Amino acid sequence: MVGGKTLLEVKNLKQYFPIRGGILGRTINHVKAVDDISFEVHQGETVSIVGESGCGKSTAGRSILRLEKPNNGNIIFDGVDLAKLQERAMRKKRGDIQIIFQDPYASLNPRRTVYQTIKEAMDIQNVGSKADRRRDIIKILETVGLGEHQMNHYPHQFSGGQRQRIGIARALSVRPKLIICDEAVSALDVSIQAQVLNLLKKLQKEYQLTYVFISHDLGVVRHISDRIIVMYLGKIMEIADKKALFNHPGHPYTYALLSSIPSTNMLEKKERIILHGDVPSPINPPKGCPFHTRCPFAIERCMYDLPPLHEVSEGQQVACHLAEEGIVDFVSLSREQEFSLTENQE
């Protein structure tokens, strides 16, 4: 494990969004975007949160930054509980926690030059001395692979990859300890994506950054992470070191997720689970294990009893009744249960 000291501890975080309805616009129900999750992030490591749309991974990231006010739970960053801070104090704290958004087209102000965009962030957080600001900005731009000559350009004059570099420069400019990358490379073409991923890795080393990397792309996640959190319907299904997760996934959902990715390996075709049906609505999630409606291995107990996260091997925690006594070999289990894991299954 990289680092050691716990930089961020999320405890029992809940983030519900009210649904209003009826003539009076009263709250009639909630979308349980994040439903009681707990995890830790250590200094200097990259923790990824993966899952499908609507699993709550982005909401979790936004809650850490207090872009949403959590309904419940603690977000302890560097010894301070962010969930309890006043808005003003929180704004100061955001100098330590920054975010890079998915869409480099939508997250930059089109009427501001690169210089103005970065300067604003530094002014608000009061980083460095005002006299050095120009010099500092040039240095940051060079760090992310842009040049001084581009300082007075507007966002529309840049390509998608370059805009994402501006987003990174803006986040970096306030000298944060933690950066939340919310699908930071998802909108980029692969050749540009690789450049930006390399840049993120380089910066992490240079500035001892800690990343919470939110992504749906497990290839990217395998490349960048030290540890991975798998979410489904607002809950954590598995937390594991990268090696463990990819070599012996402990949760059936993780296994299905991994086996759904189209593979470019033509020489070796793996057996796979193709999940039936859609993700249930987070307004009214299934009782028991949220995954039981799509899980090919579900037993009766899964329908009413929510399995807690428990350790199945070193550095690997799984929320699944089947994994109670350790890691399950899903390939042989499926053979025992006589349902085929072939590609033709639909």
52 binds another protein (CB under 8 A): yes
- What are residue 239's DSSP bridge partners? 229, 317
Question: Between 109 and 247, whose beta carbon lies closer to another protein?
Answer: 247
- Least separation in angstroms between residue 54's CB and another protein is 9
Stretch that binds another protein, among 19-27, 107-115, 131-139, 262-270 (CB under 8 A): 262-270
164 binds another protein (CB under 8 A): no
Backbone angles phi and psi of 249, in degrees to 5: -55, 140
Q: Is 147 in the site for another protein (CB under 8 A)?
A: no
Dihedral (Cα; 230, 327, 286, 231), 10-degree rounding: 0
Number of alpha carbons in the 13 Å side-chain half-sphere of residue 125: 21
**Nearer residue to another protein within complex by CB, 275 or 289:** 275
Is residue 11 near another protein by the rule CB under 8 A?
no
Segments of 70-223 assigned E as strands: 72-77, 80-81, 97-100, 178-182, 210-215
Contact of 22 with 37, CB cutoff 8 Å: no
Residue 233 binds to another protein (criterion: CB under 8 A): no
- Kindly tell me which residue out of 30, 133, 222, 248 binds another protein, with binding defined by CB under 8 A: 222
User: Does 326 contact another protein by CB under 8 A?
Assistant: no
The end-to-end CA distance of the chain, in Å, is: 39
Pairing of the two strands 72-77 and 80-81: antiparallel
CB of 71 to another protein, least distance (A): 26
Of 108-116, 258-266, 307-315, 333-341: span binding another protein (CB under 8 A): 258-266
Q: Which one, of 312, 316, 329, lies nearest residue 252 by Cα?
A: 329
33 contacts another protein (rule: CB under 8 A): no
284 is an interface residue for another protein by CB under 8 A: no
Q: Residue 344 interacts with another protein (CB under 8 A)? A: yes
- How many residues of this chain interact with another protein, rule: CB under 8 A? 48
The mark string for 200-219 relative to another protein (x by CB under 8 A, - otherwise) is -x--------------xxxx
Q: By CB under 8 A, is residue 261 in contact with another protein?
A: yes
Q: Which residues pair with 34 in a beta bridge?
A: 15
C-beta of 273: minimal distance to another protein in Å? Answer: 9
User: Taking contact as CB under 8 A, which single stretch among the options 31-39, 206-214, 264-272, 302-310 is the one that binds another protein?
Assistant: 264-272
Residue 192 is a binding residue for another protein (CB under 8 A): yes
Residue (94 or 251) nearer to another protein, CB: 251
Residues 68/228/46/97 CA torsion (nearest 10 deg):
10
In terms of CB distance, is 71 or 162 closer to another protein? Answer: 162
DSSP-assigned states of every residue in 18-63: EEEETTTTEEEEEEEEEEEEEEEEETT-EEEEE-STTSSHHHHHHH
- Site membership for another protein, residue 220 (CB under 8 A): yes
Q: What does the angle CA 90 – CA 94 – CA 98 come to, to the nearest 5 degrees?
A: 150
Residues present in the chain in total: 346
Interface ranges with another protein (CB under 8 A) = 52-53, 159-162, 189-195, 197-198, 201, 216-224, 246, 256-267, 272, 274-276, 278-279, 343-346
